[in-house]
Amino acid sequence: MKDNRCIVSIIVPVYNAAEFIEETIKTVEAQSFAEWELLLVDDCSDDNGCDIIERHITRDSRIKLIRQEQNKGAAAARNAGILQAEGRYICFLDADDIWEPDKIAKELDYMRGRDAGFVFTGYEFADEHGRGLGKVVHVPDTITYGQALKNTTIFTSTVMIDTEKVDKEDIYMPQIESEDTATWWHILKKYGTGYGLDSALVRYRRSAGTLSSNKARAVRRIWNLYRKQERLSLTKSLYCMCFWAFRAVLRRI
């Protein structure tokens, strides 16, 4: 039987991502750390993305395609990937983002060096072609739940979780908007400190059609997390929102 203790499971929700998915897969195949499995969860796409994925599967047995029977969104797709993940370490990658070739190796070394259960890295904004724009988002060395409420700097495609330190049940994402942020807050609240590797190991493709490009909607999503998910008081929510908005602007200018 295969020893999976050193395997990294990479979970990618896929929905009509044919334009980007091949490049994203290739950035995983190019990783200097080779003991990974790539779980691509198709959420009922109606483009030819699955055909592209199938071509890669025929060449690389580490790549797997999981097909959802109904379109349920990114949270459900990631959860389907978590359910089937065989690796000790879980990473998330969005279908249009790009990893640098040493992303897994550096982050895994950092995680082990800190004896950490939850780590994340810095990242660089990229254009629609995946080219870095020179705008790098730096991350703190450590972050707590209280700090994370005011600083949503944890980007999903940079996260790595050790399932021997964080129970797998705590990684499943809720069916709400900004489900990833809600999950990081839950993990930090339950397990304590998260650790940031301040190195831009991910390129975040920022295109006009992405969910986060709608600023008003982003504000509403975070506000709802404060009030409905975390059940913060109105005063505490306003306090956190001010810090969140300030840092969100800084990240994008």
Specify if 39 maps to a domain. yes
pLDDT value at residue 233: 95
Query: Average pLDDT of 160-173?
Result: 97
Of 162, 37, 158, the closest CA to residue 98 belongs to 158
Is 3 inside any structural domain? no
Cα dihedral sign, 113-6-92-137: positive
Task: Kindly report, residue by residue over 47-81, the tens digit of the pLDDT.
Answer: 999 999 999 999 999 999 999 999 999 999 999 99
* CATH value at residue 233: 3.90.550.10
Model pTM greater than 0.75? yes
Mean pLDDT for the chain overall: 92
Judge whether 2 lies within some domain.
no
Full domain range(s) for residue 73: 8-252
Contacts 24+ apart (CB under 8 A), 167-170: 168/82
3-state secondary structure of 38: strand
**Number of structural domains, the chain?**
1
Distance, CA of 83 to CA of 75 (rounded, Å): 12
Is 29 part of any domain?
Answer: yes
Q: Is residue 102 part of a domain?
A: yes
For range 10-25, the mean pLDDT: 96
pLDDT, tens only, 186-223: 999 999 999 999 999 999 997 654 444 467 788 889 99
Is residue 242 assigned to a domain?
yes
Q: What is the pLDDT of residue 175?
A: 93
3-class DSSP assignment, residue 196: strand
236 closest CA partner among 247, 227, 245, 228: 227
Tokens standing for residue 70: 């109904």
Residue 144 domain flag: yes
Q: Identify the three-state secondary structure at position 230.
A: coil
> Residues 239-247: what's their mean pLDDT?
85
Contact 133, 55 (CB under 8 A): no
* 1 occurs within a structural domain: no
Q: What percent of the chain has pLDDT over 90?
A: 83
